[in-house]
Amino acid sequence: MSDLFSPLRLGAIELPNRVVMSSLTRNRAGAGNVPTDLVVEYYRQRASAGLILTEASPVCPQAHGYPRTPGIHTAEQIAGWKKVTDAVHAGGGRIAIQLWHVGRISHPDLQPDGALPVAPSALRPAGQTVTSSGMQDFVTPRALETSEIPGVVAAFAQAAKNAMAAGFDGVEVHGGNGYLIDQFLRSSTNQRSDAYGGSKENRARLLLEIMAATCAAIGNDRVGLRLSPVTPFNDIADANPQETFDYVVGELNRFDLAFLDILQGTGGAPHDQWLPFDYARLRSLYKGNLILNNGYDFASAQTAIASGAADAIAFGRALLANPDLVERFRCGAPLNQPDYERLYVGEEKGYTDYPVLPA
C-alpha cells in the first residue's frame, strides 16, 4: 500500500516521496523580477520534498500582477532561476515552475507603459491590489481581442521552453485562483460572445490551447496543471462549477499530462465551510496522476494516498515553515508555525530563517 513516503513517477519526473511543495507567492525577487541568492537558498532548503512547485512566475511582462514576483521571460530571469534549479538538484530535489498570467488581477502601475490589465471581459474585480506604491483599487481591465489570444498561448509555450533552459524538471500551468485562465473558465468573469465565451466548451478553449501548446513545446510528460474549481479568490465564481470542471478534466485526458493539481475548498476556510463540490468525481474522470491540495495534515494526507483519492499531496504553509517537513512527518516531530506577518515581505525573516531538526 502506498503512503506519503512511497516513490512516484509523474510523467518524466521521478519523485522519492509524495510530499509536494505547493506554489506560494513570496515577493522576494530582485531588480527586474529576477530570482536572487535568497530565493536560491529558500528553495535549496526544501529540496527534500518529493517535488517543489515554485511560486507562480509571470510568462510575459503583461502577466505581472504583484511586486517582486520572479518572471520567466527574460534572459536575466532564466539565469536567476538556473541558480535555483542547480541548488535544488544538488540537494537531490526535483523542481517545476508554475507558469502564470494574472489577467485582470493587476494594475497599470505593474503593467508595461502603464497599460490596463487584460481579461476575457471588461469587468472590474472587487477589492484592492498591492502595487509598488501601496494598496490601490482594482481597475476595469481591457477585454482581450480575439486576435490577441494566440499571443497569450504563445507566451505560455515560450515560458515553458525558457523553464527548460533554466533547468527545471517540469512546469505547472496556473489555471486557478481567479487568474487569467480561470477568468476565461468561469461564467462570472467571461461574458465573451466569440469562440472563447458562452458555453463551457468555449470558456475552456483558452486553457486547452495553452495546454496543447505547452505540451508541444517541452513534452507532455513534463507538464502539469493547477485548477481550483470553487475557490472564490480574486472575486470569481461559476454558475455550475461541477459541470464546467467535469468537462475540463475529461478533456485533459487527451494530453497525458505529468499531473493534475487540484486546489480543494474555498481558500483557508475549514472543510465544513467549503462550497459543495464532488472532488471524487474528478478523480474518477481523470486518468492520470492527481495531486490534492489544501488543508492536509500528515494523517489526512496518508489517508488520501492510501485510499487512492490522490497520488500525492501538496503542502503550502506547512512546507513554508518547515523546510524539513518530510523528515518531521517521518519521525513525528512537531511543526513550526508560519510567520504570517512576513509571508510577502521581510527578506530572510519568515523566509529562510525557519529552524530545522538537529542532524
Cβ(71)–Cβ(58) below 8 Å: yes
Cβ(283)–Cβ(246) below 8 Å: no
3 state DSSP class of 178: coil
- Which regions of the chain does DSSP assign to beta strands (E)? 8-10, 13-15, 19-21, 51-58, 95-100, 118-119, 128-131, 134-137, 142-143, 170-174, 223-227, 259-263, 290-293, 312-315
- Cα–Cα distance for residue pair 33/244, rounded to 1 Å: 34
Give me the catalytic one of 42, 179, 279, 296: 179
In DSSP terms, 57 is beta-bridged to 99
- Cα–Cα distance for residue pair 38/46, rounded to 1 Å: 13
- Determine whether 179 is an active site residue: yes
Cβ(342)–Cβ(28) below 8 Å: no
Q: Per residue in 66-101, is it b (16+ CB within 10 Å) or e — as a string?
A: bbbbbbbbeeebbebbbbbbebbbeeebbbbbbbbb
Among candidate residues 218, 283, 226, 285, the one with its CA nearest the CA of residue 251: 285
- Cα–Cα distance for residue pair 19/8, rounded to 1 Å: 10
Q: Which three cell numbers stand for residue 195?
A: 469562440
Residues with catalytic roles = 179
